[in-house]
Chain A
Amino acid sequence: MTFWQRIRRFWRADIFSPRGFLLRAGVIGAAFLALHLAGLRDYASVLNGTVGPASTGWKTSAFLGVAYLVVYMALVILAPILILAAGILSLWHRRRRQQ
């Protein structure tokens, strides 16, 4: 199987499988990286009622700030849970196969 075939197979993994969980954790990580590199961390100031940098206005600041906050929370809370769950599920599948 080629590298791209492996990637394609991984991408199409069932949502309720270890691969599916890892894929979603990876997507969250990639989304966070993209927002972080785009400089959206500065818009977290909306949490205390201050607009983001470059005077983007309230609505845009709030949208960007909340987007960053949601993806960050997903990264620190949801992604590790998905990775742990993938591990637990893999162990469980292996045990079942051994039986």
Chain B
Amino acid sequence: MKRAKRILAACAALILAAALWLPCLHLFFARPASAFYVKEGLSPKARQLAARQMQLWADPLLRKQELDRMRLSNAEWDFMGRSFLVWALANVGLRDPSSKPACLQTMDRIIDETLQLEQQKGLCFFLMPYAKDRPYLVQPARSLFLDGEIALMLASRRILQEKPEYKPAPTARVNLIVNALRRSPRLALESYPDECWTFDHVVALAAIRLADYLDGTDHADLIRDWVAMARQKLVHPESGLLISSFATDGSPLVGPEGSSLWMIAHCLQLLDEGFARDQYDRARRQLSGRTLGFSYAREWPDSWKGPADIDSGPIIPFFEISAGSSGMAFIGASAFGDEPFLASLNATLDFAGFPSRKKGALRYCASNPVGDAALLYAATLGPIWQKVKAGRNQSL
């Protein structure tokens, strides 16, 4: 056969083979959504992710290595990895009572160390270096990023099991947030100097809801006022999505971002169900993508483009896939029971997340401890929110 004809035949065979293989590839990674998230009990993946995370907190050397690696890129990740893990373990303990003692032990270790570090090393230890570039507008300086997540950690711990030593701390922290919000004319608190994040506000308000549930207080008016302000001032007009950050005077800084929005929608479930569903549906329409059976999430909607940063992670060109947004999309999909999206995201995770399993413990090599902790939270969320929504009388 002539060489040209041979080359042509080989190319045709390659094209035909690609047409056969590429649409089938996702089938090798396809699992039902229940492999990742179940309504009751723990999914196999949740169990394996929890085993790895608890291993990290049982082995100081391993923990140091992993945290040092993350802190080289972003000190926030060290802190958020702790937050997501504590929130996740509270749900794990409620889902699987046999694991409750181990969960409580790990949660207490994380909370105690985090509070100690915050006290010893100061506000900036868990923040990015630019927190030191200029002073906070409101003095004495506080970061809602730290206060909100710590308050939610402490409240989650107390919901799993009350601990008298932890009662004053979250109450004081919640009171700080409540008083500061009431003093702020725009209901906006700084996480960084003159930089307020929607993510941090909804986490803090969720912590306030948990505190109301635990202590019988009532901050419904404050929550209502903040949601009304957010609907009016923080919604990006073109996409209808909440913006990520704004200045203390309420002017927008960064538009809607997937790395924030999925978690924002989940926290809004405790604050305003209708608004939460609206934000999730919009994010699903404008940020999610699917190629060859693999789902992923983009960082920005078509109507707004921001710079790739530490939150978005590297953006894969053409598809505009963001590792940060795709990871956080698990939280949205689990929280809103979006099984098709969750199953397809899970296929992508197993395809491109490079899972590594050892002795029943799972980690993703393309992720890091904060990413894995966020995935664990996505795989276990539900019981805490359900308890708080049901109210104290119903769940006692």
Interface of A with B (CB < 8 Å)?
A: 14-17, 21, 41-45, 47-51, 53, 55, 72, 76-77, 80-89, 92
Interface string of B20-37 (1 = CB under 8 A from A): 111001000000000000
**Could you say which of B22, B310, B367 contacts A77, with CB atoms under 8 Å apart?**
B22
A-B contact pairs, 21 of them (CB 8 A): A21-B13, A41-B365, A45-B366, A47-B313, A48-B313, A49-B74, A49-B310, A50-B69, A50-B70, A50-B72, A51-B72, A55-B68, A55-B72, A72-B354, A76-B351, A80-B21, A81-B17, A81-B18, A84-B17, A85-B10, A85-B14
With A41-B365, A44-B366, A81-B17 known as contacts, the answer to whether A49 contacts B7 (CB < 8 A) is no
Give the CA-CA distance A47 to B351 in the complex, in Å.
14
- Whether B17 lies near A44 (C-beta < 8 A) is no
In the complex formed, the residue of A with least CB distance to B14 is A85
In the complex formed, the residue of B with least CB distance to A76 is B25
Chain A residues, CB < 8 A from B16: 84-85, 88
- Whether A16 lies near B323 (C-beta < 8 A) is no
Chain A residues, CB < 8 A from B314: 47-49
Query: Which of B68, B70, B324: most chain A Cβ within 10 A?
Result: B70
Chain B residues, CB < 8 A from A16: 6-7, 9-11
Give the CA-CA distance A47 to B312 in the complex, in Å.
11
Give how many A-B residue pairs fall within 8 Å (CB-CB).
Answer: 94
Give the CA-CA distance A45 to B6 in the complex, in Å.
42
Give the CA-CA distance A72 to B355 in the complex, in Å.
13
With A14-B6, A45-B69, A53-B69 known as contacts, the answer to whether A92 contacts B356 (CB < 8 A) is no
A-B pairs, 10 with minimum CB distance: A84-B17, A16-B10, A85-B17, A85-B13, A88-B13, A44-B366, A89-B13, A44-B365, A50-B368, A47-B366
In the complex formed, the residue of A with least CB distance to B68 is A55
- Whether A49 lies near B313 (C-beta < 8 A) is yes
Chain B residues, CB < 8 A from A45: 69, 365-368
Rounded to whole Å, the gap between the CB of A83 and the closest CB of chain B is 8
Interface string of B346-360 (1 = CB under 8 A from A): 000001001010000
With A44-B366, A53-B65, A53-B69 known as contacts, the answer to whether A17 contacts B25 (CB < 8 A) is no
Count the B residues whose beta carbon is within 8 Å of the partner chain — how many? 36
Chain A facing B: main interface SS: helix
- Whether A89 lies near B9 (C-beta < 8 A) is yes
Interface of B with A (CB < 8 Å)?
A: 6-7, 9-11, 13-14, 16-18, 20-22, 25, 65, 68-70, 72-74, 77, 310, 313-314, 323-324, 327, 351, 354, 356, 365-368, 371
Chain B facing A: main interface SS: helix
Query: Which of A48, A84, A92: most chain B Cβ within 10 A?
Result: A48
Chain B residues, CB < 8 A from A47: 313-314, 323, 366
Chain A residues, CB < 8 A from B351: 76
Chain A residues, CB < 8 A from B371: 48
Give the CA-CA distance A48 to B17 in the complex, in Å.
32
Give the CA-CA distance A43 to B368 in the complex, in Å.
11
Give the CA-CA distance A85 to B68 in the complex, in Å.
46
Chain A residues, CB < 8 A from B74: 49
Query: Which of B11, B25, B74, B366: most chain A Cβ within 10 A?
Result: B366
Give the CA-CA distance A15 to B6 in the complex, in Å.
10
Give the CA-CA distance A63 to B88 in the complex, in Å.
34
Rounded to whole Å, the gap between the CB of A19 and the closest CB of chain B is 11
Chain A residues, CB < 8 A from B20: 84
Query: Which of A50, A55, A81: most chain B Cβ within 10 A?
Result: A50
Given A16-B6, A55-B69, 6 other A-B residues pairs in contact with their CB atoms under 8 A: A16-B9, A41-B365, A49-B313, A53-B69, A76-B25, A86-B13
Give the CA-CA distance A21 to B87 in the complex, in Å.
51
Give the CA-CA distance A17 to B1 in the complex, in Å.
12
